[in-house]
Structure 1
Amino acid sequence: MSSSGDSFFTIKSLREQVYDYLRFQLNEGKIRPGSFLNLNEISMELGMSRTPLRDALFQLETEGFVSIYPRRGVIVNTLTLEKIRNIYEILGGLESSVMVHIALRFRESDIDIMEKCNSQMRKALDQNNYSVFCEENLKFHNVYLDMSDNLEILHYIKIHKERLYDFPRNKTFVKEWELHSLEEHKALIELLRKGDFNGAAEYIRDVHWSFQVQERFIRKYYFAKHSELDVSEEA
């Protein structure tokens, strides 16, 4: 394939360009959740006219990242406790559904990969490396999610995880929560090794993605003052 063909397939969509820009600005502290966006500035920064910019923002609005108010502007949505509750319920339902439907595709080698991801998460936690911890956590879940042929489900899972983790990304640990996650992963791996995929699906829905089970950690991670968090990753 020619180099021009390669570049064609790596071009990001307008939605991705605007999303990446807003995520970067949020993580740099240049804009904050609840603030209005300067569309002229974004248009200039991205070299994008107002019409495609508005189209991209309309898509981000349908996904819950921003809200558009006629004659007022575009505001970056704040992640409230109620929104987190709803997202957890959605993710629990979707991921558990995937687990049931891909059961016959699972191999021991896939479970081995999940176990390796969990070990890497533990190592990252010991090293206070939050970025690697998050990456390995996503890889752990993607072992079974990537087996699904249901692109609609995978699309919505991706959007909701972006909403939870990246808009903006919290660069701090709640170490007790991370340790609980590691133990939950071990319990899930044990169910999979036994071939209990229905049990694994229920565990994903009723424990791992249960708002009630995770609420005390969620409150600390998303809403506690920075000084109350356990570990901060060094820049």
Structure 2
Amino acid sequence: MEDIAAARRRPSIGAADRSLRDQVYEELRERIIEGDLEPGRRLVEREIAAELEVSRVPVREAVQRLEVEGFLTVHARRGAVVTRLLAPDLAHFFDVRESLEALAAGLAAERADAAGLARLGELLSAAHRATAANDARDIAALNAAFHAEIVALSGNPMLVGIMEPLNGRLRWLFRLTAGPDDHPVMCREHEAMYAAIRSGDAAEARRLAREHVVATRAATLTTLPAAEPGA
């Protein structure tokens, strides 16, 4: 599927149409989400700058942005470390998602056009194929893209802006915690959400979206530690 492949393709550092800060940010963010930089890993600015062949300034700016979004934790002595996902912290994340995902699904049911519904259906079909192939990387990317498309179909630019950084965390979380048994369940729940949005049933779309987040929350929090190791 061309759109999905394009969405996952990483432009090279130095592409003319994007600032170095944005490129370094996106590169580090992808490495964290995909597990190349695992939780607890310390990031050394000079090493990253040398590897990416940039100065330390865009690296420092990218680190600050990733800290704000929760991907990195900056310690006084250790510097920037990839955040360890802990159950208490993620409870706040799911509180926000439960409300905003339900809002997005309801608005999408009211406003989605034929082209948007077609894109949503294509993402769902691609997720089914990735699930059948047990391709964890594609499953995580496609499931996050499905949620992002629902937000886009809401037609609310403010909601899109709020949800964009949360979508990256959703993909990261899914990659770290979801097992093979979770993938078919996710597809079935997405199927039901898609059907409600396609039928224009806003109340049902909101209900299903909320239930989906609640179920994901319960399954996820049982797999995560309550505190930092050694705390």
User: Which category of TM-score, normalised to the shorter sequence, fits these structures?
Assistant: 0.7 to 0.9
Alpha-carbon distance between aligned partners in 2 of 1:79 and 1:40, rounded to the nearest angstrom:
26
Q: Is the 8 A contact 1:68 1:75 kept in 2?
A: yes
Note if 1:181 corresponds to 2:189.
no
Q: Which amino acid aligns with 1:75?
A: V
- 1:77-92 matches, cutoff 5 A: 77-92=83-98
Shift in CA distance, 40/34, structure 1 to aligned 2, threshold 3 Å: same
1:153/1:133 Cα in 2 relative to 1: closer, same or farther (>3 Å)?
same
Between the two proteins, what is the percent identity of the paired residues?
22
The 3 A distance-change label for structure 1 pair 84 and 43 is: same
Q: Which residue of 1 aligns with 2:28?
A: 21
> What is the RMSD computed on CA atoms of the aligned residues?
3.1
Structure 2, unaligned stretches of length 5 or more? 1-14, 226-231
Deviation of residue 168 (structure 1)?
A: 9.6
CA spacing shift, 1:100–1:13, aligned 2, 3 Å:
farther
Equivalent runs, 1:34-53 vs 2, <5 Å = 34-53=40-59
CA deviation vs aligned residue, 1:145-181 (integer Å, no higher than 9, x gap): 22344444323322122123238944x9623321211
Q: Compute the TM-score of the two structures, normalised by the length of structure 1.
A: 0.72
The corresponding residue for 1:8 is 16
1:221 Cα deviation from its structure 2 partner: 6.2
* 1:123 aligned partner, one-letter code: R
* Superposed CA offset, 1:29-53 (max 9, x none): 5x43123221221122223333333
**Residues 134 and 51 from structure 1, CA distance in 2 versus in 1: closer, same or farther, beyond 3 angstroms?**
closer
Aligned to 2:212: 208
| Cα shift at 1:121 | 2.0
- Equivalenced residue count is 211
Q: Does 2:205 correspond to 1:197?
A: no
User: CA–CA distance in 2 between the matches of 1:133 and 1:90?
Assistant: 23
Deviations 1:88-142 (A, max 9, x none): 2222222222233344422355445434432332222122222332343234334
Counterpart CA distance in 2 for 1:18 and 1:109 is: 31
| Whole-angstrom CA distance in 1 between matches of 2:161 and 2:60 | 22
